[in-house]
Structures are given as C-alpha cells and as structure tokens.
Copies of this chain bind each other. A is one copy, B any other.
Amino acid sequence: MKFIHTSDWHLGRQFHNVSLLDDQQAVLDQLIRYIESNPVDAVVVAGDIYDRSVPPTIAIELLNKVVKRICGELNTPMILISGNHDGAERLGFGSEQMKNAGLHIISNFEDMLTPVVIKTESAGQVAFYGMPYNDPEQVRFAYQEPVSTHDQAHKLLAEKITEQFQPEQRNVLVSHCFVDGAIESESERPLSIGGSDRVSHEHFLNFDYVALGHLHQPQKKGEEYIRYSGSLMKYSFGEQNQKKGFTLVEIDENGFVSAEHVDLTAPHEMRIIEGELEQVIEQGNTDPKNEDYLLVRLMDKHAILNPMEKLRAVYPNVLHLEKPGMLIGVEQEMAQAKLARSEIDMFRDFFSEAQDSQLSQEQDQAISDIIKQLSQQAL
C-alpha cells in the first residue's frame, strides 16, 4: 500500500505582502495530477493546513476544492491533523459528518484514539493515528497528569495511542512537533520560546511510520521511518535550496516501509540573487525564471537612485532589497567586525567587560572546548 505524506500547506499565507494563494493552488494541482496518474491509498496532511487559526475565505475555498477533488472525485481518503497554526475547533467542525466521505480531520484527543484504518490487499490493515497539535498545558488539563514540556506531552500521547494498537494492524502516527536535533527553517513559528518545544524521537519507535509536520525542510530523524515531508512550497528566502514536495510512503506485504521524496514546483520560486546592479539587470534580461520571488543583495559600493524600480523592470517580483555593499567607513568596519566575531571572541569581550580582567589561558581553553561541544551537538 502507498500513501502520500505531506504537511505545512499554510494556505492563505502572505509573503512580503504578496498572497501566495495562486502558487499554493498550482502546487496542489500538481499533487492532484500526481494522484490521478499514480493512485495512492491515502493522503496524510500533518498539520498547519492553514496559516492562521482564522484563515481567509479564499484559503477555505481552496481547501474545499482540493478535498472535493481528492476525497470526492478520486475516492482517496484524506487524514488531516491540526497544527500550531490551525484553529483546531474551527478546522474540526463537522468532522464527524465527513468521515464516511473519506475526510478525516483529527483535531481533539477523543478522535486521536480512534485510528483511521485503511485496508489493502498488499499490506493488510494500516491504522493511521492522528495526534493533533497541543500545548503541554492542554495535555496536562485533558489527562490530569503532571505534564509541563512538549517532550512529556508527546511521551504521554504516544503511550495512550500505543494502548490502542491491534495485533493485526500496522501503525502510522501523524504528528505535528519539533523532533530534537532536526533542522529548522526561517518560516516556522516556534512552538514555545527557549528550546522547550523539543521532543525525543524515541517516543515514536513503536510505530511503523511517523508522518511529521512542523519543520519545513524534508528530513528523517532518528530512524528511516520517522520523517518530515517538509512544507508544500518555500516560505522564506532561506529555503531557496531546499527540496519541496511530498513524501511517498510504501508499506509492502512484509511490513517493510520505504519512503521517497517527490518534487513539487511552485510557479514562483523564492531565490536570493547577489551582485552589482548592472550585473543583476543584465542577468535578468535573459533569466527565464525572472518572475520568481526575489531577495536581491546589491554589492555596489556607491549610492544608487531608485534601485527597486530599476530591478523590477527586469525582475517584477523583487520583494526585498539588501545593500551590504553600501555600508561605508566606520559603519562598514563595525558590521564586518561583528560578522567576523566568533562565539569565543564575544565571550572574551563579555568577560573583560564584566570582570575587568582577561581570561586566563586555562579559562580560555575551557570555554573554547564547551563552545566546540555545543556546536557539534547542534549538527
């Protein structure tokens, strides 16, 4: 059996005041065309379907169209969970009534414990458990257990789900969370401040596949079968080199799970272009993708009149302009000095200001070692 794992659609998102809805629709059309030519047994969306808890009407209409096509016309069940951007109750209205039509919106703990079971000849019964996004406070309140971190919350919820396992079924978890050690992107909204949003992948080891949402870069974490599909499309310039699309998951008759990334391409990519104005304009004149959404970083060292206007004559969708080349004199030196300062330099500055003396050689070595350890852990 095969299913599509996708997440972080963020329908209705704006980027530098530009609506991305047409791009989102185009990418979803590609997804639908893929299903038309390569039928699958289910489509899983691991949260952040909308960008806001009260999405704009046009985003609702787009989701409605997609659901009509996939569930209604292609007869492919969809399993959706709410993410931290979604309004769970709002998204969940009528979910009871939609189930028989193959649309499963899981937005509360009650529904979490009843899996969507898909029966196939090749892989038997596959149970999909949706764990809607919840703050630790909500989990503590619902289960009256001493839960104060995301990690504790996910441990508890995963245990509750595991209790429901049926021996004859394979088990897929759908969850929206930040697995510890995974790679962030600019366009995600932190689940909580200060790193307490991290969840160990070890809570998920009992499942046959874990379809994760929240992080926008496709990646696996901990095990081959614990994966982020990544977002539907790029949502920041920092994601210019990320692959975007969905994960195609296959479970064979022996229960062996494989997963591969399938590309989807937005009509407008998000890219960063660096160079002097003249070069950038020349390049733009022959750039077949000149309508992409761009951040242009102008390296010219002299002032330029109306650079945005000149750039938009060839690249109409320049959304942001940076001019690092135009920092002059002291400003430039300071900026460069700042860029050049490493963690150890900054700590030395801090120490000498706070203590009115320099680090001893031993102290300096100890701090250097700690910084090295920390940065290795982050990789």
Contacts and interface: CB of A to CB of B under 8 A. Distances in A.
Interface of A: 54, 57, 60-61, 63-64, 67-68, 71-72, 87, 89-90, 92-94, 96-103
A94 B71 CA distance: 11
Contacts of A96: 64, 67-68, 72, 101
Query: How many copies of this chain sit in the oligomeric assembly?
Result: 2
Contacts of A89: 57, 60-61, 64
A113 B103 CA distance: 24
Contacts of A99: 101
B93 A101 contact: no
A126 to B, nearest CB: 21
Nearest to A73: B96
Contacts of A102: 97
Contacts of A71: 97
Nearest to A54: B54
Given A57-B87, A89-B57, A89-B61, A67 B97 contact: yes
A223 to B, nearest CB: 34
Given A54-B54, A57-B87, A103 B97 contact: yes
A71 B67 CA distance: 22
A interface, by DSSP: helix, strand, loop or mixed? helix
Contacts of A64: 89, 92-94, 96
18 contacts: A54-B54, A60-B89, A64-B89, A64-B92, A64-B93, A64-B96, A67-B94, A68-B96, A71-B97, A72-B96, A72-B97, A93-B93, A94-B98, A94-B103, A97-B98, A100-B100, A100-B101, A101-B101
Q: Please list the 9 inter-chain residue pairs (A to B) with the smallest Cβ-Cβ separation, ordered nearest first.
A: A97-B101, A97-B98, A97-B103, A57-B89, A100-B100, A60-B93, A94-B98, A94-B94, A64-B93
Contacts of A72: 96-97
A134 to B, nearest CB: 15
A63 B57 CA distance: 20
A64 to B, nearest CB: 5
A110 to B, nearest CB: 11
A59 to B, nearest CB: 10
A101 B102 CA distance: 12
Contacts of A57: 87, 89-90
Contacts of A67: 94, 96-97
A54 B93 CA distance: 13
A143 B336 CA distance: 63
A40 to B, nearest CB: 19
A89 B97 CA distance: 18
Contacts of A87: 57
A105 to B, nearest CB: 8
A62 to B, nearest CB: 10
A60 B97 contact: no
Contacts of A90: 57, 60
